[in-house]
Structures are given as structure tokens and as C-alpha cells.
């Protein structure tokens, strides 16, 4: 159980859900992220007595009533929201599955079906984590998630270095849309630590405790 009296209150900025990048007014590129991990982290942080600002892409979940909420849709929307809120947070946790690419020129009208093939040109979206890692203040902590389907730790470590993160959490595609997950955690300058398969609620509680400890919250 958490003890509110013993913990210094932190301001958490948490992103969740899968962004949507529109091809035309009715079709979009997205992913299968449920947003559950981010929402559970928000609840755990609130239960620990902290403040939470939740930036959420579309999900079927109900946000905690005590959290501040910013609803976004695209990767660019999320980037602008993170930039706006980042300066006021102690810890950013990027659990959102942000699209790496977006249509270069979305169609203004619905694309009609035709017998031939079509080519969809994509452009990179903003790298939100890298921006945060570059612009963080000395006392801010930036936590990223890395979903890897092979060479899990190596890929996550590369992401951690490239984006100047304080902590990386690695998982596999099995976590997408699931009620449970198994994760690997690495803090800067330390060894990997594994959280065995468990409900995301329990994983979230342990992660918040770990972040509190790393930030020396008493």
C-alpha cells in the first residue's frame, strides 16, 4: 500500500494510446495499442499521491477523474501537447504508441476504390522522445517504452542512448492489447531488471515505485 504522507508529490506527464495518421477523411494508419499501460500508470501515480497529466490518443478506456487529460489524435497533436506540458513535469513517461510515419499528402476527399494499385507516400513524424531527452532540465526524468520483436535489450538500449533517456522499458508485441505483460527495465548506467509476467496494474504499481526511488521521493 502507498503512504501519501511519506512521499513528495511529483508531477507526472504520461502519454497513452495509439495515434492516428489520416490517409483521407475516413481512413487512417494506426496500431493495436489499447492504452491500458499508460492509464494504469496514471492511476498508480495518483494512488501514490502524485499529480498526473494524461495525454491520450483515442482509446476505449475511461481516464482517472483526478488526472488532467489532453485528448489528441495524431503524432503531431501529441508532440504539440507534450511540448506544451513538458516544462511543468518532474517525470515524462511515454507509453503511447506513436506512429513513426504519416501520409505525406493526405487526400482532401475520400479515396474511391479502383481496379489498379495505389502508392502511399509516407513521411517521418516528430520524434517526441528525442525532443524530450534533448530539452529536459537537470531534475527531470524521461522514461521511454521500446516494443521490440527481436534483440529486445539491444534495440531498447540503442533507443535509450539515441534519445538520452533516464530509463527504458522494453516489451514485446505480446503486450499489445493484453491485460498482462512481461517487461525489462534499464536505468541509465545500471543493469537490466526483469518484471515477470503480471497484470498491467501490478506492473504499473511497481514502475511508479521504481521511479519514486530513482527520484529519491521520501
Q: Which residues participate in catalysis according to the annotation?
A: 31
- Beta bridge partners, 158, equal none
The three cell numbers locating residue 56: 491520450
Residue for cell digits 485528448? 71
For residue 184, the SS3 value is strand
For residue 171, the SS3 value is strand
What phi and psi values does residue 109 have, to the nearest 5 degrees?
Answer: -125, 160
- Structural contact between residues 66 and 44, judged by C-beta atoms closer than 8 angstroms: no
What phi and psi values does residue 51 have, to the nearest 5 degrees?
Answer: -95, 145
Task: Give just the sign of the alpha carbon dihedral 81, 162, 90, 46.
Answer: positive
Amino acid at each position: 500500500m502507498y503512504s501519501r504522507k511519506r512521499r513528495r508529490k511529483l508531477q507526472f506527464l504520461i502519454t497513452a494510446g495509439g495515434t492516428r495518421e489520416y490517409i483521407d477523411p475516413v481512413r487512417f494508419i494506426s496500431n493495436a495499442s489499447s492504452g491500458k499501460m499508460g492509464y494504469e500508470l496514471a492511476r498508480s501515480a495518483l494512488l501514490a499521491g502524485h499529480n498526473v497529466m494524461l495525454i491520450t490518443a483515442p482509446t476505449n478506456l475511461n481516464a482517472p477523474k483526478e488526472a488532467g487529460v489532453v485528448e489528441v489524435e495524431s503524432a503531431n497533436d501529441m508532440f504539440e501537447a507534450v511540448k506544451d506540458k513538458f516544462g511543468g513535469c518532474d517525470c515524462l513517461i511515454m507509453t503511447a504508441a506513436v506512429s513513426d510515419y504519416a501520409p505525406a499528402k493526405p487526400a482532401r476527399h475520400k479515396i474511391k476504390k479502383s481496379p489498379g494499385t495505389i502508392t502511399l507516400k509516407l513521411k517521418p513524424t516528430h520524434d517526441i522522445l528525442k525532443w524530450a531527452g534533448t530539452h529536459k532540465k537537470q531534475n527531470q526524468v524521461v522514461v521511454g517504452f521500446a516494443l521490440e520483436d527481436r534483440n529486445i535489450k539491444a534495440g531498447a538500449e540503442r533507443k535509450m542512448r539515441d534519445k538520452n533517456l533516464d530509463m527504458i522499458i522494453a516489451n514485446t508485441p505480446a503486450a499489445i492489447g493484453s491485460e498482462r505483460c512481461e517487461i525489462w527495465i534499464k536505468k541509465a548506467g545500471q543493469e537490466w531488471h526483469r518484471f515477470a509476467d503480471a497484470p498491467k496494474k501490478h506492473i504499473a504499481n511497481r514502475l511508479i515505485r521504481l521511479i519514486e526511488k530513482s527520484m529519491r521521493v521520501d
